[in-house]
């Protein structure tokens, strides 16, 4: 028996087929599930973070405020709440912004994007996050347009989708 994280492997309709270990799911590029949360201040700044150098995927790339996989048998809402608490030490009323289907740009993950607006300051998990910054959304878009290679591929996809959705 392994302590490795277990994921639900799903089909294109996001229906569970079976469970498998994280490493196998990623190696096989099987469809699975993830959550991202965009955390905003009431004044509109978005929290973005740089992934830790120890991350196995896209280390030191800038990413959503928090993100993570949905564990086997877990619901997207619970995963988002868990990741928010684990990575940023935050709690609050999450709002579902959208559901994006799995694709290569989203690392083969069906992804639910949530938002949280808070005045609380995050407490960063150093194992997950190297650095974090609060930036006006237009500055994040400008940075993305000028230096896309500095961002994780899923975050670029979500940020573009979010810009198109909110324009």
141: pLDDT strictly greater than 60: yes
Q: What is the pLDDT at residue 167?
A: 44
Binned at pLDDT 50, 70 and 90, residue 22 comes out as: very high
Q: What is the pLDDT at residue 1?
A: 45
Q: Beta-carbon neighbour count of residue 78 at 10 Å? A: 13
Q: Which token pair is 29?
A: 């590029």
Q: How far is it between the farthest Cα atoms of the chain?
A: 49
- What whole-number distance in Å separates Cα of residue 126 and Cα of residue 57? 16
Binned at pLDDT 50, 70 and 90, residue 166 comes out as: low
Contacts of 102 (CB under 8 A, 6+ apart): 10, 12, 14, 31, 32, 108, 109, 110, 111
Tell me the CATH architecture of domain 6-166. Answer: Alpha-Beta Complex (3.90)
91: pLDDT strictly greater than 60: yes
Q: What is the pLDDT at residue 2?
A: 56
Domain boundaries, the chain: 6-166
- Collapsing DSSP to helix, strand or coil, 95 comes out as strand
Compute the mean pLDDT over every residue in the chain, rounded to the nearest whole number. Answer: 95
């Amino acid at each position: 028996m392994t302590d490795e994280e277990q994921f639900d492997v799903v089909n294109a309709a996001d229906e569970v087929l079976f469970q498998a270990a994280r490493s196998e799911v990623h190696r096989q590029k099987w469809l699975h599930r993830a959550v991202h949360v965009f955390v905003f201040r009431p004044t509109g700044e978005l929290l973005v973070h740089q992934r830790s150098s120890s991350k196995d995927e896209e280390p030191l790339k800038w990413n959503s405020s928090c993100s993570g996989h949905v564990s086997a048998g877990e619901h997207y809402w619970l995963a988002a709440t868990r990741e928010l608490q684990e990575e940023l030490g935050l709690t609050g009323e999450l709002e579902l912004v959208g559901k994006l289907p799995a694709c290569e740009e989203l690392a083969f993950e069906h992804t639910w994007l949530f938002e949280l607006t808070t005045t609380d300051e995050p407490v960063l998990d150093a194992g997950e996050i190297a650095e974090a910054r609060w930036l006006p959304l237009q500055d994040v878009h400008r940075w993305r347009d000028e230096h896309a290679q500095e961002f994780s591929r899923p975050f670029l996809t979500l940020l573009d989708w979010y810009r198109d959705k909110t324009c």
